[in-house]
Structure 1
């Protein structure tokens, strides 16, 4: 059971382990899934047990954000864990609904395997081009992209709007999470989705903020109490901002 849950406008936020909470939600109650799980990346060049700030931040930025959980799995356990949460999420999604989950290049093959192991139909990959502002490595190609792997819960009709197949946006200058992504990328991915949107790895709530902007109900789950509070604050700000905008700024 979740340690805590909060309702903020059209968003419901749970504090707890996604594998436990997903089993408590009603089957068929979710429209689509959009999430950014911990990648457990860097095993070929870094010790997976290192702090996430040491793995993903420059030295001068360490300590700027809380560490995040669940980033120490090797590739076999990452496949097993990903299959478990994707399978439980699929039970909640209506027929034809989408799963969109982020990965970097190291975990891209195993993420596409997990999508299929969990019974989703793998449909493709949407690159996020982080622009030339991403960290350079001399003598090598710039590591400039991450990837949204997507699939559907069974067949999906060829109907509705069309979303871009590539998103180009820099890493946010103001971040709320070590691995934070742009709200505009999440909002773009939501263009072909219907609510409620399930986000089992909420982090700082970026998907939820994008859902508020799109007018979509949101269900977020976060294991870490510090990031849960960050997400709640950001959702409250987003909902209050949307309400002021609807009333002409009064």
Structure 2
């Protein structure tokens, strides 16, 4: 039984807690857009303080049951992935995020950087005219130690999430919200957003970032209409 209440900022509903406990209380959404923490080694001192409460099932690349359980709450999903982890179910397209030139120094093989990351489009997607490249780039906001201290160790560029969220209408869910970049993109695009984060530290950062995004909305995007009560005849 969930006794906590979400933080509401604009059209964002933000939950602090375990996504496996919170998701069944929410019902279906239009899309999941998320970056699950695949095997990122939270206990390593250069990216974390060693006190992470992330699920064991998503800390190790070989077990993605928490990710897959979360993806069941929408008919379509945008999922950042790992080439070392099993692909999610229902993959229809694989996009490639080409990271900045100084990225991917850890875990190199034969001198090649780990500077690309797969993004999976899963589920049912409408047909659209061909207008987008499947290779995406984005400007980083934080680097190295600054990422661990100022935000999340694996924060994604806001402009990258903006492009991934932009084609999607309706309510978007991020069950592994981290420092809230998906929510920031939703705020700027006028999308309703539900975010869940198990780490209090990153939850507080996400709340601040999303609140700031609502203070500086994208002036070219019309916000979603507020629900209206129909007049009785």
TM more than 0.5:
yes
- TM-score range (shorter-chain normalised) is 0.7 to 0.9
Gaps of 5+ in 1: 42-47
Matched residue, 1:132: 101
Query: Per-residue CA shift, 1:170-209, capped at 9, x if unaligned?
Result: 4323641111110001001112211211000111000000
Distance 2:69 2:217 in 1: 35
Distance 2:10 2:129 in 1: 27
Shift of 1:79: 2.8
Give 2:69's match in structure 1, choosing from 84, 91, 99. Answer: 84
Query: Does the 8 A contact of 2:32 with 2:71 survive in 1?
Result: no
Query: Does the 8 A contact of 2:13 with 2:195 survive in 1?
Result: yes
**TM-score after normalising by structure 2:** 0.78
Residues 4 and 209 (structure 1), Cα distance of their counterparts in 2 relative to 1, 3 Å cut: same
Query: Does the 8 A contact of 1:52 with 1:68 survive in 2?
Result: no
Matched residue, 2:177: 202
Distance 1:138 1:214 in 2: 39
Gaps of 5+ in 2: 221-233
Number of residue pairs matched by the alignment:
209
Distance 1:194 1:2 in 2: 30
Query: Does the 8 A contact of 2:55 with 2:66 survive in 1?
Result: no
**TM-score after normalising by structure 1:** 0.74
Distance 2:130 2:4 in 1: 38
Residues 126 and 5 (structure 1), Cα distance of their counterparts in 2 relative to 1, 3 Å cut: same
SS in 1 for 2:122: strand
Matched residue, 2:54: 70
Distance 2:17 2:163 in 1: 28
Matched residue, 1:144: 115
Query: Per-residue CA shift, 1:136-177, capped at 9, x if unaligned?
Result: 458421111112112114xx4314785431111243236411
Matched residue, 1:5: 6
SS in 2 for 1:126: strand
Structure with a larger share of its residues in helix: 1
Give 2:77's match in structure 1, choosing from 90, 93, 99. Answer: 99
